[in-house]
Amino acid sequence: MEKQFDLSAVDSPAKEILNLDFSKRQLNGKLKAFNFLEGGETMLYIPSLELSAYGDTLDEANDMMKNHVFTSFIDSIFEENEAYVYEALEELGWIRNARLKNSLSKISNLTGIDILEDFDLPSNTVIEESLIEI
């Protein structure tokens, strides 16, 4: 099944959500993403999961993210022990919901300035933020 990503503009900070269903091997949620040009290619970066993809255009980067990077990420999650996955996500700053044990959230305070610094980009680089629904 192909993942459909909706890139919607967002203002910082943003609440990100992940819902995991190990019995059905499914993951859904909303994730904050950044896109920008680096070295002539468009980068799509999801800092909360440390995932990135690239392409000649944003559409190509989005396609790489949803059809390759994210698919591989999901496959690798469900190959691991459930406790290990939650521990790894908590190390990335995700917080497990006390009532809904399969739901995690994270408040992202990252801005375009943080991305400029993290990727050592020129100060005039245009950074766009969006929420990706998975």
**95-130: pLDDT as tens digits:** 999 899 899 999 988 999 999 999 999 999 999 999
Alpha helices by DSSP H, listed for 18-69, are: 58-64
The residues spanned by each domain of the chain are 7-133
Supply the pTM of this predicted model.
0.87
Kindly indicate the confidence band of residue 10, based on its pLDDT and cuts at 50, 70 and 90. low
Residues 6+ apart with CB under 8 A from 81: none
- What does the pLDDT look like over 40-50, one tens digit per residue? 999 999 999 99
Q: What is the DSSP letter of 68?
A: I
Return the half-sphere exposure (C-beta side, CA atoms, 13 A cut-off) of residue 127: 24
Provide the residue count of the chain: 134
* pLDDT tens digits, one per residue of 36-72: 999 999 999 999 999 999 999 999 999 999 999 999 9
